[in-house]
Structure 1
Amino acid sequence: MQNSLNSILLALSFVYLYTLISCKPEEAQAVSQGKYAPARLSVLYSKAEEYIASWPDSLLIVAEQIKREGLRANNKQAIVRGERYLAQAKWRLGSHKEAMKLAIKALSDAEKWKTVSEIPDIYTIIGNLHKEKANYDMAFASADKGMRAAQMNQDTMAIIGLIRLKAMFTQGLGSQKKDTAMIHRSLDMHLEGLKIAESSPRFERQLTGYYNNIAQVYVKRDEPEKALFYVKKAIILANKYRQRLSLTYSYTWLSQVYFKNNDIENGTRYLQEALRICHELKNPFREMEISRYLYQALEPTGDYKHALEAYTRFIQIRDSLRVLENVRQIGELEIQYEAEKKDQQISALAAVNEVKSREIIWALVGVGVFVILSVFMLFQYRIITHSNRILEVNNQKINEQSEKLKVLMKELHHRVKNNLQTVSNLLSLQSSRLVDEDAKQSMKTGQQRIEAMSLVHKSLYSHDNVNMVDMNEYVTNLVESIMQSFGIYEDKLIPHINIEVKMLDIDIAMPIGLIVNEWITNSFKHAYKNVEDPKLSVILVEKDKLYLEIVDNGPGIDLQKWEKPGNSFGIKLVKVLARQLDANCRVTVDNGTRLLMQIPLPKHNAAT
């Protein structure tokens, strides 16, 4: 342990001396005075590499620290690497859109500042994001660009990773097209890259991915023994380097080996373990993939209940990451799950019908007097049976239409949210070209209003009731969005949010959201300029009415401006929205500004 510590200190000393020698005189002086912190960055880089394959939420925190340290020391390399780690964390957490934005920003900065060593890894992230959307053309293009950059840098580590990436894309495309030749070609590519990776202990961490991918190809080729050989090696390395995400892939291919050997119990056990790790890692995309494997394994066994649970989880995660699709498949699975019980019900009904028919025959033979009555009863029975069948068919159609309508409404809200997001992005792009600060601020304010409406529609398509908004989720996301737009993080201000109202109708939730947006935006613009410990409180409770309270600890709003807004569009908008809600609105100033709004609400419109 002492030897390892001495080695680390010696290495850090070498880095320090090398920096002093290679820098310009004024830069060397800055390092010696502690203005730069190479040792601190080295520690943060090590932490980030450790968290990449295991803890994306921790990676997110470390990435922010690296970027802040880079900005503080004007270290371009650290800034770009922090952006790259942020993109990687967002990708692992399933926020693909944010990840792509961060990756493109990192690529732009890397090319602008000539930090070429980061470019191969950035293209690796971009390629993976395209691949997970099944956009293989752009995935291959990104991998090729990354490979050219790695070859120009003579970066063997990056070359090994990009060979594996292209081989993985080839295998994925081959599986999608059911092209056996392409799958075989991906194996050859993996084995070529493996030779380089096994050439030096420096590249041992890279071997885990190769072993897992080769095991996957052998599973696809129906060669379980070879797959087992490589997956065991992958498990050893994944445990050695705490590569917990890689371990989920190892367990997945190990489960497939067991399934091919008809060992359902062990196969299912390893998939469940992989799901547990994914849940701990907060990796929804990987959890979605494993849920699909679990469904595919259980469905042929006739265990429709657990297969349905796995498939439902797969659909839920996929819809939360993308859009609603393939609803028909889960409907078919539900039919299979209910088939056995329905068969029993049909058999029982047939037996009852048989008894009734026999009773009618005996009644006709034995009691001639009641022939006419019996015929009439039979006629009535047939009419009722026919009516029941028509009613059953109509009810089934109504249920189907209801489900389709619910899906369409969710899809509608999803599309509205996407369209609003597009408008927001366009405003963001336009504002970046403006020079006038007032114009830029106006564009930013308009963008935030659109974001407030977008979050309502996001909440609507995320829940079963497509007309009701989860207010706690909505207000929390809205406040976080406003803070991010002003560049304010929780290390500077932790908002107090108390939302006791669970669900509200969209006609009430939307105006409330816009009021919260306008008031908090105004607070961030004016209230905290000279406040050392900024505070913000948002409370929404229901008693006899809805009570909305927003409080800050700024110098306080000019009450005359509240009474006579003049050119303040935000205050005018708050008053218009309050009138729309038929609300009583009051503003007071006492060590800050307090907005209190009382909103009448019919009981059937809220669920608390």
Structure 2
Amino acid sequence: MLLRYLYSILLFVVAIFFLSSCEKQKQLAESGDKAVEEELASLYKKAEDYGNSSPDSLIAIGNRVLATGNRLNNHTAIVRGEKFIARAYWNMANHTEGMKHAVTALRDAEKWGILSEIPNIYGIIGNMHKEKQNYDMALDAADKGMNIAKTLKDTSSIIFMIRLKAMFTQGLGANTKDTAMIHRSLNMHLDGLKIAEMVPSLERARIPYYNNIAQVYVKRNQLDSAEYYVTKAITLAKKYDQQSSLTYSYTWLSQILNRRGEQALSLDYLQKALLISQQIQQPHRQMELYDYLMEGYRSAGKYKEALGAYTRYSDIRDSLQILQNVRQVGELQVQYEAGKKDRQISALGEVNELRSKQTAGALAVLVLVLGLSAVMFSQYRVIRRNNVELAENNRKISEQSAKMQLLMKELHHRVKNNLQIVSNLLSLQGNRLTDDDAKRIIKAGQQRIETMSIIHRSLYSQETVNMVNMRDYINDLLDSIMQSFGIDEHDTDLFIMVGVEELEVDIAMPLGLIINEWITNSFKHAFHDVKRPSITLNLVEIRNQMQLEIKDNGPGFDVRTWEQANRSFGVRLIKVLSKQLEGQCRVIQGSGAFFQLEIPLNSPRRAA
């Protein structure tokens, strides 16, 4: 009896000890989990602080979050770690690495159903496409992020995606010179800002809205509205220490000051923005600011500094390989999207396979056609082998074509840059000359170089690398000529009709030089005693030939100068270029100078 009593007491003590031990282990585990959660929360906060200011620190934080997530199998931490690293590489303009990590984060977020992170990931992807001027994929990323944000009914993400889509629309409109698209982007920004201003906790999200709206108003020359929004942006950017946003605020403020004639203060704000972008290690932003500095120095007459800024802009642009790896960055996302579709197709295939097993008995009658199937299968293997070879050949041809097109774009880009450098050097040299005739000769040479540069600028920014859009080219050329003479387009009547859509570059180049020579001659000699200058230019196709006509309302052109070409370099150049095009040119007597050039479209010698 006593032994049984002692045995019961022993069991009770053991049970108490066991329960106490389990409770301590549970408390330790909960304490450990809480410590990890606090550590991750601290890292998330630091990542938010370093998001636009210290990419090296952001990479280190991303790796720590990623390592913790993998160690504890914390899916949210894994996705956020990849997202932080992707954001850092985007800020450093290393878009290839940035896209790799962004696509990995997107894949894991979709696989584990962490939908709240997806809009922000698509935002990073869209911004990288935008900085590569790949606006189609940027807008596609914004739409996908918006769909997820609406599904979650996440107001913060919806505001973020509205701003991104508006910004990408604005960039595409500026790139294509589509004023209607730019106006639409302003309305999108204002709509998104209304939502952001309704939620006090989203005050920080208003900063990029204010900057983007200010940018549009600057481009529309509505300086008071631009100053109103940029002042709001600066106030909040300083309040929340948003250094990257501050560089944009200072940029738009500098443009406002420049247009008001305060060049010195405008350059000072650009220098402040450049210093911040260097401190936060954003090379793409530095490239953009050197471009603004070049224009600012040039408008202030500081040509040496302008040339230095342009050199830094070109060096950074080349180091970032803006054109070279745009296809590679786009393909990283395309490959992921294609792989996702393949997995969906594979899943459907498994379902179909299961159904086919269930109906195997009904298909037994197909045994009767096995003989014929054997013959058809043999033929199928031959056809399939041929198709594989054909597909491989087509792939190689497509790759070679894409590489050749990219090389041609790069060639036009470099030629345009070199021509621009020559033009800048001529401008700097011309400013040092005292002889008026020498200055005029330098200015004429600079305009001829600009005529050729406009073509190469057009060719490297479009898909067809050997065809020139004549309507855009002639409009850009006339704008350039009038700017060189300091003439406002509103003070001149221009009547332009271009009935020729595109021309090969070896025809467009000499044709552009001819137009440049004749229009330049009109502005130099025809309008001294004319109350309102007028120029009519027609380029049309008539009966298997192309006809160019240029007419002004000046006193007319001296036929003796035309007939004695050696007396004028410009006339001699026009005749040589017309002969190169196998065309017939003439000056027709009448009121004003009337030049006509007829070029055969199907020349055997040019076709050869």
TM-score of the superposed pair, with normalisation by structure 1: 0.51
Corresponding residue for 1:66?
65
Partners of 2:263 and 2:432 in 1: CA distance: 28
Structure 1 residue 53: deviation in Å? 2.2
SS of equivalent to 2:198: coil
Partners of 2:262 and 2:40 in 1: CA distance: 48
Partners of 1:27 and 1:264 in 2: CA distance: 69
Structure 1 residue 341: deviation in Å? 3.8
Structure 1 residue 293: deviation in Å? 1.3
SS of equivalent to 1:123: helix
How many residue pairs end up in the alignment? 325
Structure 1 residue 337: deviation in Å? 3.4
Judge conservation of contact 2:52–2:280 (CA < 8 Å) in 1.
no
Corresponding residue for 1:40?
39
Partners of 1:261 and 1:349 in 2: CA distance: 34
1:589-600 equivalences under 5 Å are none
Partners of 2:304 and 2:274 in 1: CA distance: 18
In the alignment, which of 410, 414, 417 is matched to residue 326 of structure 1? 414
CA 179–341 in structure 1, closer or farther in 2 if over 3 Å, else same: closer
Corresponding residue for 1:298?
297
Corresponding residue for 1:105?
104
* Offset from partner CA, 1:239-296 (integer Å, 9 cap, x none): 1111000000000000010111011111111111111111111110000011111112
CA 71–43 in structure 1, closer or farther in 2 if over 3 Å, else same: same
Structure 1 residue 333: deviation in Å? 3.3
Partners of 2:108 and 2:65 in 1: CA distance: 15
Corresponding residue for 1:583?
none
Partners of 2:27 and 2:220 in 1: CA distance: 58
* Offset from partner CA, 1:125-144 (integer Å, 9 cap, x none): 11111111111111111000
Structure 1 residue 209: deviation in Å? 0.5
Corresponding residue for 2:81?
82
1:194-213 equivalences under 5 Å are 194-213=193-212
Partners of 2:306 and 2:272 in 1: CA distance: 17
Judge conservation of contact 1:31–1:37 (CA < 8 Å) in 2.
no
Corresponding residue for 2:279?
280
Structure 1 residue 34: deviation in Å? 3.5
Structure 1 residue 164: deviation in Å? 0.3
The code of the aligned residue for 2:186 comes to: L
The code of the aligned residue for 1:70 comes to: G
Partners of 1:348 and 1:147 in 2: CA distance: 61
Structure 1 residue 335: deviation in Å? 3.9
CA 27–215 in structure 1, closer or farther in 2 if over 3 Å, else same: farther
CA 243–344 in structure 1, closer or farther in 2 if over 3 Å, else same: closer
Structure 1 residue 68: deviation in Å? 1.3
Corresponding residue for 1:567?
none
Partners of 1:89 and 1:231 in 2: CA distance: 26
Corresponding residue for 2:513?
none
1:447-526 equivalences under 5 Å are none
CA 271–334 in structure 1, closer or farther in 2 if over 3 Å, else same: farther
The code of the aligned residue for 1:219 comes to: V
Corresponding residue for 1:116?
115
SS of equivalent to 1:302: coil
Backbone CA RMSD of aligned residues: 2.3
CA 175–348 in structure 1, closer or farther in 2 if over 3 Å, else same: closer
Q: Which has the larger radius of gyration?
A: 2
1:134-173 equivalences under 5 Å are 134-173=133-172
Partners of 2:296 and 2:188 in 1: CA distance: 29
Corresponding residue for 2:263?
264
Partners of 1:344 and 1:198 in 2: CA distance: 54
Corresponding residue for 1:50?
49
Partners of 1:301 and 1:330 in 2: CA distance: 23
Corresponding residue for 1:308?
307
Partners of 2:108 and 2:430 in 1: CA distance: 62
Equivalent pairs: percent with the same residue? 51
Corresponding residue for 2:424?
336
SS of equivalent to 1:326: helix
Partners of 1:246 and 1:261 in 2: CA distance: 23
Partners of 1:289 and 1:70 in 2: CA distance: 37
Judge conservation of contact 1:211–1:231 (CA < 8 Å) in 2.
yes
Structure 1 residue 330: deviation in Å? 4.6
Structure 1 residue 111: deviation in Å? 0.8
Corresponding residue for 1:131?
130
Judge conservation of contact 2:303–2:428 (CA < 8 Å) in 1.
no
1:165-184 equivalences under 5 Å are 165-184=164-183
1:225 aligns with 2:313: no
SS of equivalent to 2:93: coil
Judge conservation of contact 1:30–1:36 (CA < 8 Å) in 2.
no
Judge conservation of contact 1:304–1:337 (CA < 8 Å) in 2.
no
The code of the aligned residue for 2:235 comes to: I
For structure 2, list consecutive stretches of 5 or more residues without a partner in the other structure: 1-24, 325-409, 439-608
Partners of 2:26 and 2:111 in 1: CA distance: 21
TM-score of the superposed pair, with normalisation by structure 2: 0.51
Structure 1 residue 297: deviation in Å? 2.5
Tell which has more relative contact order, 1 or 2 (C-alpha 8 A, sep 6+).
Answer: 2
CA 114–257 in structure 1, closer or farther in 2 if over 3 Å, else same: same
* Offset from partner CA, 1:327-352 (integer Å, 9 cap, x none): 433543344335454686796999xx
Structure 1 residue 50: deviation in Å? 0.8
Partners of 2:437 and 2:189 in 1: CA distance: 60
CA 44–343 in structure 1, closer or farther in 2 if over 3 Å, else same: closer
* Offset from partner CA, 1:497-535 (integer Å, 9 cap, x none): xxxxxxxxxxxxxxxxxxxxxxxxxxxxxxxxxxxxxxx
CA 28–182 in structure 1, closer or farther in 2 if over 3 Å, else same: farther
CA 225–82 in structure 1, closer or farther in 2 if over 3 Å, else same: same
